[in-house]
Amino acid sequence: MVVLVVSILTTVALGAASAAAEVLVDQPPGPAGVAVRSDGPAEWDDPFDDFAVPIGGHWHLEAIQVFGKAELEHPRTFNVEIFSGWGSSSPLLDSQDRIFTERVTVAGGPNYLIPIVGAPRLDHPSAFESGQTWISVQAVSTGGEDDWYWLTGPGTPGTVPAYIPGSSSEAPGAEPGLAFQLLGTATQTVKASVSGAGTITSNPPGISCPGTCAAEFPRGTALTFTAGATTPAGRFAEWGFRNTGFMGPPGALVPVQIPSPCGGTGGCAFRLDADANVGAVFEPIDEATVLRVTRDHRTGKGRLLVWAPGEGVLSLKSPGLHSYFPRWVPAGLVRIPLIPTKKVADTLRNRGRATVSARIEFRARGVDDPGATRVPVTLIEKRSEAPRGKRH
């Protein structure tokens, strides 16, 4: 939760927030427009909550706008401080808890737009972690300067606004909730993970993993992720996570489940309304493809043309063929000579043809079990004819 606590708050000047800024919190003035002195001391009481960063949300504060009234309109100087907090009924505004401070002079009046430059991101990571932050905005008085009064507003539905109880400066009948706006951008974080040889890229751009595996996008962004193998020996298997480890008591361990908006083998597209984890699993292709059998029609000798999807061990297993395999091969085309055993060679000489069964095995790098392709191979015996005119 983020709590706005102020004895003096400021407004935002034109140009103080970027064009992409949005109203993160809107606490408008009440219909009576009761004014409260801005230089009175704040007396803490429970509760103070004016607004909350959504669970799993991240806010980038760019400006604070306050609504007030003053006898004279002229530039005013404000001190802005942001403190980290833990939800106690009385915030400990100690210097060691201060995460941001600035002193800025803002033109205008009676409403002021205070630019917030370089403030840290305000987070509420999860329901188990605190997202509370205290923001203090105090006008700096310079002796004869006229008083600036802060207009109060109604309580925001679903929350209890901050107020100054029991203060002598509080106007009778003042409505709870000081009138202000917080301006900035709300973002969500996406983390990507790749298992195997592949990449994940996002549209809109921001994630290209491996490399850039985490990015923030505006809340509500429509995201599409694309997965692609980085080697011809690999292929996309599924969206999700593998080898995430185990948790639980001894003897009852269960796999760690990582929630993900994408699963299966289809597309991955979703609207970003909370932090998300996207994973893609890639597997090596473990089978070789026999392209064709080629033969020398003069001698009858042939060979198999095999496509290996990546680096690995290629084997030829056949009871009717000799082979110099298994051997390590690169990705691409591999030529395997067809050399018949003596039994098959005798059949060739007697019949002119012999068919054997060949088993092609390929074990990709990093894969324990090979993939196999079985193919029938027909051998044909071809003999050279004697030149015409020469008979023996």
265-285 pLDDT, tens per residue? 889 999 998 889 999 999 887
Q: Which residues pair with 226 in a beta bridge?
A: 201
3-state secondary structure at position 106: strand
Cβ contact 178:27 at 8 Å: yes
Q: Which two tokens stand for residue 135?
A: 């923001």
- Residues 377, 353: Cα–Cα separation, whole Å: 11
Cβ contact 151:27 at 8 Å: no
Give residue 300's pLDDT band: very low, low, confident or very high (50, 70, 90): low
pLDDT tens digits for 307-326? Answer: 888 888 888 888 888 877 78
Q: What confidence score (pLDDT) does residue 262 get?
A: 92
What share of the chain in percent tops pLDDT 70? 71
How much is the average pLDDT of 42-60?
62
**Closest alpha carbon to 340 in 352, 354, 351, 359:** 354
How much is the average pLDDT of 98-127?
86
Q: What confidence score (pLDDT) does residue 145 get?
A: 56
Name the least confident of 133-137, 199-203, 266-270. Answer: 133-137
Q: What confidence score (pLDDT) does residue 88 get?
A: 43
Q: What confidence score (pLDDT) does residue 16 get?
A: 62
**Closest alpha carbon to 157 in 67, 54, 65, 26:** 26
Instruction: Please state the φ and ψ torsions of residue 100, each to the nearest 5 degrees.
Output: -160, 145
Q: What confidence score (pLDDT) does residue 29 get?
A: 79
Q: Which residues pair with 283 in a beta bridge?
A: 235
Q: What residues does each domain of the chain span?
A: 2-186, 196-284, 289-380
Q: What's the fold here for domain 289-380?
A: Immunoglobulin-like (2.60.40)
Of 187 and 170, more confident: 187
Residue type, 59: W
- Residues 370, 57: Cα–Cα separation, whole Å: 47
Q: What confidence score (pLDDT) does residue 214 get?
A: 95
Of 336 and 85, more confident: 336
**Closest alpha carbon to 124 in 3, 284, 261:** 3
Q: What confidence score (pLDDT) does residue 165 get?
A: 40
Cβ contact 3:135 at 8 Å: yes
Of 111 and 177, more confident: 111
Most confidently modeled range among 1-5, 247-251, 374-378: 374-378
- Residues 113, 196: Cα–Cα separation, whole Å: 51
Residue type, 310: G
pLDDT of residue 9 exceeding 80, the answer is no
Give residue 222's pLDDT band: very low, low, confident or very high (50, 70, 90): very high
Q: What confidence score (pLDDT) does residue 6 get?
A: 45
Distances (CA, A) of 2 to 65, 170, 320: 16, 24, 78
Is 108 exposed, middle or buried, given 0-12, 13-18 or 19+ CB atoms closer than 10 A?
middle
* Alpha-helix runs per DSSP H in the chain: 342-351
Give residue 180's pLDDT band: very low, low, confident or very high (50, 70, 90): confident
Cβ contact 284:310 at 8 Å: yes
- HEC-encoded secondary structure of 74-89: CCEEEEEEEEECCCCC
Q: Which residues pair with 377 in a beta bridge?
A: 356
Of 50 and 21, more confident: 21
